[in-house]
Amino acid sequence: MNDNLHQLRCFGCGAQISGVDARPDFRCAECGDLFEVEYPGWARRQSHDRPNPGALKWLWRERKCSSEPLDNSGVWRFRELLPILENFGNAVTLREGNTPLYTLPRAARALGMDQLFAKHQGMNPTGSFKDTGMTAALSVAHERGFQWVACASTGNTSAAMAAYAARAGLRSLVLIPEGKIAWGKLAQAMDYGAVTCQVKGDFDGCARVLTQIVCEAPIYLLNSVNPYRLEGQKTPAFEIAEAFDWNVPDHLIVPGGNLANSSALGKGFRELQELGLVSRLPKISVIQAAGANPLVRSFAESGGKRLEPVEAHTRATAIRIGNPASWRKAACAIVETGGWCLDVTEAEIAIAKAELGAEGLGCEPASAVTLAGLKKLRGEGWVQASDRVVLVLTGHTLKDADYTIDFHRGTLLSAEEAAGNEERIERLRRNAQVVDATPQAVLAAMKGASA
């Protein structure tokens, strides 16, 4: 198969351009919308370029036993479905992907469900799902000879970008909203050598400034407006389908911030269906924090056709985004698959996160919106007891340890936010105790905890 078969197609007006002709801000010159990568050869049935489903499934399984770095990557293992590089030898990989799909037996029981799974994307090299997209888009930057890459971020994109840039020997520039990202993520960007600017403003402001910068200087933009990011971020869809022997789950539940991840996963499943690797699509539902819910509002007001930016407020800082770039793509994935778009409160997020933690699966607050959202979907009767559901956990629990510690110390939520949930919160809290250095004191603490 030819290695370079892709072109870019505008999601708004359908304009088609070659990958190298994209503007530095990745906006369509005709209508200003975002591009999607497409592979024209796949549409022609008899074409040599159309991948053969049976052969692909076999090849991808075989690669699991390979010791080649590219085969060890859960993204590049599926490289036939993301032929975005002239030469796959230019791929920059940290062995991303191949993340675990865990069962959640306690949460399933509590929700009266037969089977519930968590695809833990926090188990990637820099601790978030961003690595899968970054290996793809940064490899393109590397192949095209850029010296500098940049992103605006709520923290995880910057951590991923800085790490992959360091691997490739590129310089990286990070714009983050001052004081509004978790320290763990900021620490990563510093450690991986990025030039890190804490901008006095919010994420949406950072994105605006950066768009101007890349239009003036030869810096490659690695935000998710870059369509190659989504090519990497679609691969967890392949991993999930493969894990269920190419039967897709009934529901996939994804957090929504800038709305690229839900878009990418929707694209991944759609391509699997178009290529005959799976026979149907999972319903994709997007869950936002109530204080950062522009897409939820958009569905309520216009059925997902228009979006008014909001001023975003949530302690789930990863999804503190009021003007999401990929909202049209995400709305399309929701409508096309028959999913829903809901929001959840700060207390619901904190409770769901503690429940996942108590099941041995720590995650970021932004990831926990998925379980909180599932409870609502179940309550509405939109998810049945026998449905197979996958929650996408997007970030590692250690990314934002302050949030977790504040929850267990009882200082996270205001009385107003916790109202009505006090008992559930108390049951989940496990504060660290200070005890005397004697066996009696420790045994007394254990006795107190089991009471």
List of residues contacting ligand F0G (CB under 6 A): 128, 130, 153-157, 224, 255-261, 318-319, 364, 366-367, 394-395
The amino acid at 317: T
User: Which residue lies nearer to ligand F0G by CB, 83 or 395?
Assistant: 395
**Residue nearer to ligand F0G on the CB measure, 227 or 257:** 257
Q: How would you label 258-296 residue by residue, b for 16+ Cβ within 10 Å and e otherwise?
A: bbbbbbbbbbbbbbbeebebbeebbbbbbbbbbbbbbbb
CB of 423 to ligand F0G, least distance (A): 28
Q: Report the residue number, 231 or 364, with the smaller CB distance to ligand F0G.
A: 364
CB of 44 to ligand F0G, least distance (A): 31
C-beta of 139 vs 156, nearer to ligand F0G: 156
Task: Provide the minimum distance between the beta carbon of 42 and ligand F0G in the complex, in angstroms, as a whole number.
Answer: 25
Q: Between residues 232 and 255, which has the closer beta carbon with respect to ligand F0G?
A: 255
Main-chain phi, psi angles of 254, to 5 degrees: -130, 140
Nearest approach in angstroms of CB 232 to ligand F0G is 12
Give the Cβ contact number of residue 441 at 10 Å: 12
**Cβ nearer to ligand F0G, comparing 258 with 314:** 258
Which of 181, 234, 286 is CA-nearest to residue 38?
A: 234
Sole residue written with tokens 């909203």: 177
In terms of CB distance, is 60 or 203 closer to ligand F0G? 203
State the minimum distance, in angstroms, from the CB of residue 155 to ligand F0G: 5
- Sheet with 388-393, side-by-side order of all strands: 101-103, 115-120, 388-393, 251-255, 283-289, 341-344
Distances from the Cα of 93 to the Cα of 1, 65, 139, 280, 355, angstroms: 22, 18, 8, 31, 33
Please state the closest distance from residue 434 (CB atom) to ligand F0G, in A.
32
CB of 399 to ligand F0G, least distance (A): 7
DSSP-assigned letter for residue 285: E
d(CA 377, CA 341): 10
Residues 6 or more apart whose CB falls under 8 angstroms from that of 173 comprise 148, 149, 150, 151, 194, 195, 197, 213, 219
Task: Pick the closer one to ligand F0G by CB: 265 or 413.
Answer: 265
Tell me how far apart the alpha carbons of residues 140 and 143 are, in angstroms, rounded to a whole number.
5
Cβ atoms of residues 60 and 78 within 8 Å: yes
Q: Provide, rounded to whole angstroms, the least separation between the CB of residue 4 and ligand F0G.
A: 26
> How many Å apart are CA 134 and CA 229, to the nearest integer?
6
CA distances from residue 352 to 158, 253, 362, 420 in whole angstroms, order as listed: 26, 14, 11, 15
> DSSP state, 427?
H
Residue 77 CB, nearest approach to ligand F0G (Å): 22
Which is closer to ligand F0G, CB of 272 or CB of 319? 319
Which of 311, 281, 286, 283 is CA-nearest to residue 296?
Answer: 286
Shortest distance (Å) from residue 395 CB to ligand F0G: 3
For ligand F0G, which is the closer residue by CB, 74 or 255? 255
What is the Cα–Cα distance from 290 to 213, expressed in whole angstroms? 32
* Cα dihedral 265, 267, 270, 276 sign: negative
Contact between residue 79 and residue 136 where contact means Cβ atoms under 8 Å apart: no
Minimum CB–partner distance for residue 396 and ligand F0G (Å): 9
Between 56 and 330, name the residue whose CB sits nearer to ligand F0G: 330
